[in-house]
Structure 1
Amino acid sequence: MASTPPRPAKVSQRAQDVIRTAGNNLIWDVLKDPWGATTNPNGYVNVGVAENPLMHETLLEHLNRSVELPAKYLTYNDGGSGSVRLRRAMAGFLNRNFHPAVPVQDDQLIVTNGVSPAIEHISWTFTDPGEGILLGRPFYGTFVPDLSLRFGACVVQVAFDDCDPFSLGAVDKYEQALLQFQRETGRKVKALMLCHPHNPLGRCYPRPVLVALMKLCQKYGVHFVSDEIYALSVWENTVDELPAPVAFESALSIDLAGIIDPTLVHVLWGLSKDFGANGLRMGVIISQCNRDVHTALGAISLYSYTSGTADHLAARLLEDVEFTDKYIVANQAKLAQMYAYAARRLQDLGIEYAPGCNAAFFLWVNLGKRFVELHPEEAGGAVGDRVMQRLVQAKVFLASGALFGSERDGWFRIVFTHPIEYLELAFKRIDAALKKRDGTITC
Structure 2
Amino acid sequence: METLSTRGKLLSESLAYIIPYFVKLKLNPFDEIINPNGILNLAVAENVLCENILVEKLKSIQTWAPEYNYYPNPCGEYNLRTELCKFFQNVFQLNRVELKPERMLITNGAAGAFSVYSYMLGDIGDVFLISSPYYTTIDHNVAVLTQNTVVRCPLLDQDKGLFRLTVDVYRQGYLSTIERGLKPKAIILVNPQNPLGDIYEEETLRSILEFACEKKLHVIVDEVYALSVFKLPTQAHFQSVLNYKSLPDPERTHFLWSFSKDFSLPGIRIGVLYSGTAEMCMIAQKINFLMVPSKFVQETITTLLSDNEWVKEYLKINQQRLTQKFFYVKEQLEVISNQRIEVYQSKSGFYIWANFRRLLKVKTFDEEMKLFNVLFDNGVFISRGFDLGCSEPGWFRIIFSLKDSWISEGINRLKLAFDRY
Q: For 2:242, what is the secondary structure of its paired residue?
A: helix
* Aligned mate of 2:84, from 82, 87, 90: 90
C-alpha distance in 2, partners of 1:31/1:98? Answer: 38
Instruction: Give the aligned partner of residue 384 of structure 1.
Output: 368
1:127 aligns with 2:114: no
* Aligned mate of 1:148, from 143, 149, 164: 143
Q: Specify the code of the residue in structure 2 equivalent to 1:422.
A: W
* Aligned mate of 1:362, from 351, 354, 375: 351
Instruction: Give the aligned partner of residue 184 of structure 2.
Output: 189
Q: For 1:304, what is the secondary structure of its paired residue?
A: coil
Distance 1:305 1:69, change over 3 A: same
C-alpha distance in 2, partners of 1:195/1:353? Answer: 23
The number of residue pairs the alignment matches comes to 413
1:432 aligns with 2:421: no
Instruction: Give the aligned partner of residue 250 of structure 1.
Output: 240
Instruction: Give the aligned partner of residue 270 of structure 1.
Output: 258
The Cα of 1:44 is off from its aligned counterpart by: 1.3
The Cα of 1:181 is off from its aligned counterpart by: 0.6
The Cα of 1:295 is off from its aligned counterpart by: 2.4
1:279 aligns with 2:273: no
Instruction: Give the aligned partner of residue 328 of structure 2.
Output: 341
The Cα of 1:53 is off from its aligned counterpart by: 0.7
Superposition pairs of residues 205-284 of structure 1, within 5 angstroms: 205-237=200-232, 245=235, 247-256=237-246, 259-284=247-272
The Cα of 1:28 is off from its aligned counterpart by: 4.3
Which sits farther off after the overlay, 103-112 or 292-301? 292-301
Decide whether the 8 Å contact of 2:222 with 2:256 is kept in 1: yes
C-alpha distance in 2, partners of 1:66/1:156? Answer: 43
Q: Which runs of no fewer than 5 residues in structure 2 stay unpaired?
A: none
Distance 1:189 1:71, change over 3 A: same
1:293 aligns with 2:269: no
Provide Cα deviations, 1:406-435, integer angstroms capped at 9, x if missing partner: 111121100110122211211111121122
* Aligned mate of 1:305, from 287, 292, 301: 292
Provide Cα deviations, 1:45-81, integer angstroms capped at 9, x if missing partner: 111100001111101101101521211111114x112
C-alpha distance in 2, partners of 1:254/1:90? Answer: 18
Provide Cα deviations, 1:83-107, integer angstroms capped at 9, x if missing partner: 1111111111111012332111222
The Cα of 1:380 is off from its aligned counterpart by: 4.8
The Cα of 1:323 is off from its aligned counterpart by: 0.5
Q: Calculate the TM-score normalised by the size of structure 1.
A: 0.89
Instruction: Give the aligned partner of residue 441 of structure 1.
Output: none
Q: Calculate the TM-score normalised by the size of structure 2.
A: 0.93
Distance 1:203 1:160, change over 3 A: closer
Decide whether the 8 Å contact of 2:191 with 2:226 is kept in 1: yes
Instruction: Give the aligned partner of residue 19 of structure 1.
Output: 12
Q: Which runs of no fewer than 5 residues in structure 1 stay unpaired?
A: 1-7, 239-243, 438-443
Decide whether the 8 Å contact of 1:47 with 1:398 is kept in 2: yes
Decide whether the 8 Å contact of 2:364 with 2:393 is kept in 1: no
C-alpha distance in 1, partners of 2:365/2:248? Answer: 45
C-alpha distance in 2, partners of 1:290/1:229? Answer: 21
C-alpha distance in 1, partners of 2:133/2:260? Answer: 21
Q: Specify the code of the residue in structure 2 equivalent to 1:312.
A: E
Distance 1:57 1:307, change over 3 A: same
* Aligned mate of 2:301, from 294, 306, 314: 314
Provide Cα deviations, 1:240-277, integer angstroms capped at 9, x if missing partner: xxxx7554211111012xx4121011111111111111
Question: Bigger radius of gyration, 1 or 2?
Answer: 1
Q: For 1:296, what is the secondary structure of its paired residue?
A: helix
* Aligned mate of 1:412, from 389, 396, 406: 396
C-alpha distance in 2, partners of 1:69/1:370? Answer: 56
Superposition pairs of residues 65-84 of structure 1, within 5 angstroms: 65-77=60-72, 79-84=73-78
Q: Specify the code of the residue in structure 2 equivalent to 1:172.
A: D
Decide whether the 8 Å contact of 2:75 with 2:281 is kept in 1: no
Distance 1:104 1:165, change over 3 A: farther
Decide whether the 8 Å contact of 1:166 with 1:206 is kept in 2: no
Decide whether the 8 Å contact of 2:131 with 2:154 is kept in 1: yes
The Cα of 1:304 is off from its aligned counterpart by: 1.4
C-alpha distance in 1, partners of 2:142/2:302? Answer: 28
1:10 aligns with 2:8: no
Q: How much identity, in percent, do the aligned residues show?
A: 26
Task: Give the aligned CA root-mean-square deviation in angstroms.
Answer: 1.9
Instruction: Give the aligned partner of residue 198 of structure 1.
Output: 193
The Cα of 1:166 is off from its aligned counterpart by: 4.6
